[in-house]
Amino acid sequence: MSFSLRVDGQQWRDHLARTIAQDASIVPVIKGNGYGFGNAQLAREASALPVSTIAVGTHSEVQGVREHFAREVLVLSPWHPTLSPAERNASDSTIRTVAHPEAVVALAKDQPGVPVVVEVLTSLRRHGVQPTDLESLIRPLDELDVRGFALH
C-alpha cells in the first residue's frame, strides 16, 4: 500500500518562521532521505531561514547539503580518528560531534581549534563521554572550539 503526502509549502514555511522567531538557536536536522523530501531540498529551504547551522546524520551527508547551505553543518554521528581521511578532515564550517575521550584527545592534537559538540553519555547508553571523564578532558577541550554539549 502506498500513499501520497501533500504539504502546503507556504503554511509549512510560515510555521518554521514562527518557530524560529521564538528561538533563533534552533538547528534544523536533515538526515537520511530528508524525511522523504530529500536532503538537498531541505538544505535549500534551510538556507532561506535565519539559522546559522543545520545538522546532518552522518559525515557522508555533508557534501549533499553543502552546495545548498553555505553556513555551518553539524554532524550528529561522532567523529573518531578511525574515520576515513575525508571524513576526519572536514572543513572549518563543519561542526564535529565528539563522544569518546580518545576522540577528544586525538582531535585536539590533530586539528586544534575546530568546532565541536561534546556528546555526553545518558541512560540510553548509545554513545557519549562519561560525565566522570569530563574533568580529565578539560585540557584537550580547551584546544577545541566547544560549541555545546549534546544528550541522546
Tens digit of pLDDT for each residue in 25-57?
999 999 988 888 999 999 999 999 999 999 999
CA nearest neighbour of 54 among 89, 94, 83, 17: 94
Q: What span, in angstroms and rounded, lies between the C-alpha atoms of 118 and 111? A: 15
Per-residue pLDDT at 111 exceeds 80: yes
Q: What span, in angstroms and rounded, lies between the C-alpha atoms of 100 and 35? A: 29
The residue ranges of every structural domain in the chain are: 24-151
pLDDT tier at 86, thresholds 50, 70, 90: confident
CA nearest neighbour of 45 among 23, 28, 63: 28
User: Which homologous superfamily does the CATH classification assign to the domain defined by 24-151?
Assistant: Alanine racemase (3.20.20.10)
Across the range 90-96, mean pLDDT stands at: 84
Q: How far is CA 60 from each of CA 42, 56, 79, 84, 107, rounded to the nearest angstrom?
A: 16, 9, 12, 10, 19
Per-residue pLDDT at 87 exceeds 90: no
Tens digit of pLDDT for each residue in 16-26?
999 999 998 99
